Each structure stands twice: as C-alpha cells, then as structure tokens.
Amino acid sequence: MLREHSTPLYIYSLALMKRNFTSFDGAFGERPHAIHYALKANSNKAIVKTFADLGGGADVVSRGELYRALQSGIDPENIVFAGVGKTFEEIKKGLKKNILAFNVESIPELKLIAKIGKRIGKVAPVSMRINPGIDPGTDPYIATGLKESKFGVSKEKTLMAYRFIRDNTWLEAKGVHTHIGSQITSLEPFVRSAKFIQDFICNLATEGISLEFVDMGGGFGIPYGKEQNVPQRTEFVNSILESIDSKLKIIIEPGRSLVGGAGMLITRVIRTKESSGNRFTIVDAGMNDFVRPSLYNAHHEIIPVRNSCEKKARSDVVGPVCESGDFLGKNRLLPQTLGEGDYLAVMDVGAYGYEMSSNYNSRPRPLELLVKHNKFAVIRSKESFGDLTKHEVLPGFLR
Ligand code: LLP
C-alpha cells in the first residue's frame, strides 16, 4: 500500500466505524432513538454513507454539510441542522429539503426561521438548543455548555422561546437540544445535562407543550492512548437513558466516538536532526495535514510502522511547516535508528483530522483510504499542485 501511495495519508477502518455505530445503537435497547452522525468530525462521503447504510441520521452545521448528508443517502427526516450562524439561505434550504429540525441557537434566529417558513409556506420544525451551564471538564476550546459560551440559549429564554413557538403558526416544536462539549471523558456531565433536560421537559409539560424528541448532542470521549480511561459507549448512553422520560425519542450526535479511533495518519520520516541537545524527527505530515496537536496541544500516540525492539531515544516529531507550533508529538520514545524513509503512524486521527486540514505552506491535502478486511480503496485522492491554484484568478491588470 505504501509502495502505491505517497505519504502522508489517512487510513480508516470500516469495521471499526461500523462497530462503534452498532455499539451505540445496541445500547438503547427498546428505547426509541436515533444516532445522528456529526459530519464535522469527518465528512468524507464514503464515511457518511457508511452510517447512512446503518440507518444513521446526521447533525449538520452548514449548507455544505447538508449537501453532503443528502448526497450520501441520509434521509432528510433524520437530519438536524445546528450552528449559531445559520444564514437565510441555509434555513430556506433546510426547510425546502424537509429536515427533521433546526436546532435553534437564539431568539432572533427563531424569529427568522418563522419568517422564512411563512414566506415559503412551510411550517418550520424547531428544537431549541438549551445551554445548561455545565462544565464538561474538557479543553476550553471545545467546551460549549458553559454559561458564557456563544452556544445555546439560557433556560429562562428557552422557556419564552417555546411559548413563542406555541403561539406561532409557522413554527412547530419538535424537540429540545443540548450539547455541552467534546471529548468528555466522564459520565457525570452527561447525567447532569440529562437531568437538566428532563426537568425542563417537565416545565414545558406544565405549559401544555409536548415534544417528540430530546437531542442530547455528542461529545462522548475516546481514549487517546492506552492509559486514558474513558467510559464505554454503552455507559455513556445508559447515563443519559437513566435520566430521561422513557416515552421520548432520544437522539445523540456522536462524531469523534464514531470515527476518531478508526483512523490513522501514516507519515514518512524525511530526516532526523539534533539541535542544542534536542532530537527532532522530521516527517512529511505537517500541521496543515493534522492540526490537533498544534491547536489543542492534543496527545496522539505515534507508533513506528516497522516493529523493532531496538533501543529507543526521545525526540520531538515535527512537520515541515514553517512554524514552531508545527509538531505531531513532543518528547516521544522512538527507535534510536529511526530515520529517512521509515514510516510512523499517528493514531486516533479519524475525527477532526482530515476535516481540519488546510493548504498552509501550499501543501496539497493528503489522500484518504478506507480499509475493508484486507482490501483498501482510495476514498479521496491526493490533491495536485494544480488543485492549489485552481480557484485563483489573475486579474486583467496583471496579465
Ligand atoms: N453536536 C454538536 C452541536 C457539536 O457542536 C459537536 C461538536 C458534535 C455534535 C460532535 O461532537 P463529538 O461527538 O465529536 O465530540 N475540533 C475539535 C472538536 C470540536 C467539536 C465541535 N462540536 C477537536 O479536534 O477536538
């Protein structure tokens, strides 16, 4: 495989992604539920189709993601549309495509949805994203349920929003939504937010407002390395089920926990270098290919592809991009003789890996492969140098 394709390249395991989905699915037992894959984790159409084929729905946050979800065969009735900045065009498109619901992030947005519904003559299905004010204990960049966060609406305002929906001909309350953050590695924040939502549903019931579903969002953490202790998918689901009224359909929006552990990034060592007592292993994948370590200081295991029991030495694994923040791992134990032409695998990169890649330093984005048993298929070819400039236009005064 490495002889056929140039590195860096992403590889995903179909079997693992399917297993992750079915373990979530099985955990619900008889309870009405739906698993809406959060496309933002990895929107390659082969991956979205994998979940569509298993009966999965989608959580989308842009018109582009809506396009991808529909193109990959996800039933519009299984699509929720989230995001703080939905535009007029995005709302109109979602309405026309008959999606399950807009997860609404503010009162002005709600009013705009009603206006568009009226204009095109369609009752808009909505669920308010409530901000429960819960600290999920993750990186501040990916905590979304804190009171001061830009996401969701406070409890008091949400209650007002549902009264507004009840009294508006062009809106229909379908559900209630929350999402408190990502890479949450304990059950407690989920129990707290589920209880919060259950209380809120009771408040709504006293006002004669009933819903069809509760959307608990995503955020289920995965272990990044053997030592990290993270609850099982079934435990996450159970922590929610135990706190929510059994009649309502429960939606979850996992992204990372479906695809994160199913992907690795293969990179080739260009050379090694010593500088002021530091050892650097310079590889052909940079922060443009995989930005999580640079952006969040995220830890990903890095494993030599060639197995060896030789002596190890500590080194920083860095990319070729011209920034000191361009690293894949710091102070890693790697075989002492590891050098030019050897391959390394950066683990657990299936979520927010390729998806957050860029062309920084004019580096074409890498290839993506999907493995099924002992076969593999290219699911996205490597970008060419022509791709780098294809949308650029030389103005007449420079020709
Ligand atoms: N639903 C909503 C409304 C979300 O905002 C997100 C993620 C998800 C579902 C999926 O969350 P997951 O199950 O993947 O944790 N780029 C960051 C993660 C950003 C997550 C944003 N929202 C990273 O690389 O860690």
Tell me the mean pLDDT in the region 74-79.
Answer: 98
115 C-alpha to ligand 1 centroid (Å): 29
Say if ligand 1 is within 6 A of residue 129 CB.
no
- pLDDT, one tens digit per residue, over 293-341 is 999 999 999 999 987 788 999 999 999 999 999 999 999 999 999 999 9
Mapping DSSP onto H, E and C, the string for the chain reads: CCCCCCCCEEEEEHHHHHHHHHHHHHHCCCCCEEEEEEHHHCCCHHHHHHHHHCCCEEEECCHHHHHHHHHCCCCHHHEEECCCCCCHHHHHHHHHCCCCEEEECCHHHHHHHHHHHHHHCCCEEEEEEECCCCCCCCCHHHECCCCCCCCCECHHHHHHHHHHHHCCCCEEEEEEECCCECCECCCHHHHHHHHHHHHHHHHHHHCCCCCCEEECCCCECCCCCCCCCCCCHHHHHHHHHCCCCCCCEEEECCCHHHHHHHEEEEEEEEEEEEECCEEEEEECCCCCCCCHHHHHCCCCCEEECCCCCCCEEEEEEECCCCCCCCEEEEEEEEECCCCCCCEEEEECCCCCCHHHCCCHHHCCCCEEEEEECCEEEEEECCCCHHHHHCCCCCCHHHC
Is the pTM above the cut of 0.85?
Answer: yes
Mean pLDDT of the chain: 95
Q: Which positions are annotated as active-site residues?
A: 322
Whether residue 148 is predicted with pLDDT greater than 70 in this model: the reply is: no
Residue 189 confidence (pLDDT): 95
253 C-alpha to ligand 1 centroid (Å): 9
Whether residue 147 is predicted with pLDDT greater than 70 in this model: the reply is: no
Lowest model confidence (mean pLDDT) among 9-13, 73-77, 244-248, 281-285: 244-248
- pLDDT, one tens digit per residue, over 210-225 is 999 999 999 999 999 8
Ligand 1: residue whose CA is nearest its atom 9: 218
Say if ligand 1 is within 6 A of residue 90 CB.
no
Residue 356 confidence (pLDDT): 98
255 C-alpha to ligand 1 centroid (Å): 6
Say if ligand 1 is within 6 A of residue 254 CB.
yes
Residue 135 confidence (pLDDT): 78
Residue 151 confidence (pLDDT): 80
